[in-house]
Amino acid sequence: MSKSAEIIIDGKSYELPVTIGSEGEVAVDISKLRGQSGVITLDPGFKNTGSTKSAITFLDGEKGILRHRGYSIEDLAEKSTFVEVSYLLIYGKLPTQQELEQFRQEITQHTVVHEDIRKLLDGFPSNAHPMGVLSSLVTSLTAFYPESLDPNRSWDGVNLSIIRILAKMPTFAAWAYKNEMGHPLNYPDNTLDYCSNFLKMMFSLPVEKYEVNPVVAKALDKLLILHADHEQNCSASTVRIVGSSQASLYASLSAGINALWGPLHGGANQAVIEMLEAIKADGGDTAKYIAKAKDKDDPFRLMGFGHRVYKNFDPRARIIKKTADEVLEALGVNDPVLEIAKGLEEVALKDEYFVERNLYPNVDFYSGIIYRALGIPTEMFTVMFALGRLPGWIAQWKEMRENKEPIGRPRQVYTGPNLTEYIPIEKR
């Protein structure tokens, strides 16, 4: 492969360097093109633009490959734990037994949140969407730990901020849910593992004893692993771009949570269940909804279908589909929306429209069904995604800082009016 590419603009040739990734990915480096030629490149939605060089996650959308730091998602989902995958993403290698134990202990030490955060929570109406509550609580950490505002402080200080957010996020997520339900808040139980502690804070009520079901805790752990990172997606890019202005870790993560919220990104898991419920309420006619999704005059899209990068299959969706079957069987749950989901998938996978456009079920198509089976309400689904994506965002932010990346600031092609004379209001 040549180390340079040539671009000809208006008859003049410019030589551009070519960068090759460790999996053979080829990129033409256009960063100096404007300086040389005055020309920029245009790529709305960054569909074909690499914003960074990253050593965290490798993804091959054509082959359906997803690897974190070289380890396949299939291996990690089957053999690892969410806490270990978090370590891998953030620190770049699998921990030794001792390192993992220390990491766990550090996280456990910081699960309690400042009591004044309860007062913040009290200010939210109970119908507040838990994603809005979550992003606000994460931003509020900048007030409780003002030293965290400086991303240039010592590594120990930055690392403490990282540990704190990993520890407190389950508490925030559970409290966002309790706020919605109008139930009393629960405090963390540091005798439990990461997922069991979260489940207890979510579901325990003072009126009855709550025992964490190990099947539920294990399924949740797997779901969090499957969401842990996904290279330069909308929210990870947001975290990096906000952090590139030297905004703090918590400010950057809070922005990532808001980016995730939208139904075209993490909010799709909520949208999928709402869609399946609507189809069920409408008599379960999947063909009607497939037709709506294909109709260009109808804004309806098949939620949980399609992906910007996966063009054959989403490896996470494969694992999740299997997990959904296992969890539903283990818990004895018979969910009619699962049947609708399977019916939709079957029809869509054979339909020319979906086949031509490489539209396959993505991670969100089945995750909502598992969350429902675990007793997690629909509005909390995207919060669950955020809980899983947290280590990925942290790793992306940390890498961006370590690489000393410049502030993110895209260019544009201006299409508005040319210089126009200002006319005073009385003469208009």
Residues at the site binding ligand CMC, with contacts judged by CB under 6 A: 45, 230, 233, 264-266, 268, 293, 301-308, 357, 359, 362-364
With contact defined as beta carbons under 8 Å apart, do 179 and 124 qualify?
yes
The Cα 380–Cα 269 span in angstroms is: 10
Whole-angstrom distance, CA of residue 170 vs CA of residue 192: 12
Q: Count Cα atoms within 13 angstroms, Cβ side, for 355.
A: 6
Whether 307 is catalytic is yes
Nearest to 236 by CA among 396, 366, 384, 110: 396
- Cα-only R_g, the chain: 23
Q: The tokens of 282 are what? A: 């409408």
- Please pick, among 227, 229, 307, 314, the residue that the annotation labels catalytic: 307
Min CB(31)–ligand CMC separation in Å: 24
Please answer whether residues 164 and 210 qualify as being in contact, where contact means their C-beta atoms are separated by less than 8 angstroms.
Answer: no
Place of tokens 């990096």: 240
Where does residue 381 rank: exposed (0-12), middle (13-18), buried (19+ CB within 10 A)?
buried
- Among residues 221, 229, 314, 364, the one annotated as catalytic is 364
By C-beta, is 201 or 363 nearer to ligand CMC?
A: 363
Q: How far is the CB of 414 from ligand CMC (least distance, A)?
A: 23
Please provide the DSSP assignment of 18-34 as one string. EEE-TT--EEE--TTHH
The CA distances from residue 61 to 72, 214, 307, in Å, are 14, 34, 9
Nearest C-alpha neighbor of 402 from the set 22, 50, 53: 53
Residue 158 CA to residue 397 CA, distance in Å, equals: 11
Of residues 66 and 199, the one with the C-beta less far from ligand CMC: 66
In terms of CB distance, is 247 or 260 closer to ligand CMC? 260
Nearest residue (CB) to ligand CMC, 114 versus 342: 342
Instruction: Quote the least distance from Cβ 47 to ligand CMC, whole Å.
Output: 7
- Closest approach of Cβ 116 to ligand CMC, in Å? 33
**What is the smallest separation between the CB atom of 289 and ligand CMC, expressed in angstroms?**
10
CB nearer ligand CMC, residue 74 or residue 99: 74
- Provide the minimum distance between the beta carbon of 105 and ligand CMC in the complex, in angstroms, as a whole number: 32
In the complex, minimum distance from the CB of residue 43 to ligand CMC, in angstroms, rounded to a whole number: 12
Angle at 111 between CA 108 and CA 116, to 5 degrees: 160
**At 58, phi and psi to the nearest 5?**
-110, 135
Q: Is 364 a catalytic residue?
A: yes
From the CB of 387, what's the least distance to ligand CMC, in Å? 15
Q: Could you give the CA distance from residue 126 to residue 185 in angstroms, rounded to a whole number?
A: 13
DSSP state letters, 129-169: -HHHHHHHHHHHHHHH-GGGG-TTS-HHHHHHHHHHHHHHH
Nearer of residues 106 and 351 to ligand CMC, judged by Cβ: 351
Phi, psi of 199 (to 5 degrees): -60, -40
Cβ closest to ligand CMC, residue 107 vs residue 273: 273
Nearest residue to ligand CMC by CB is: 306
303/386 with CB nearer ligand CMC? 303
Residues annotated catalytic, as ranges? 307, 364
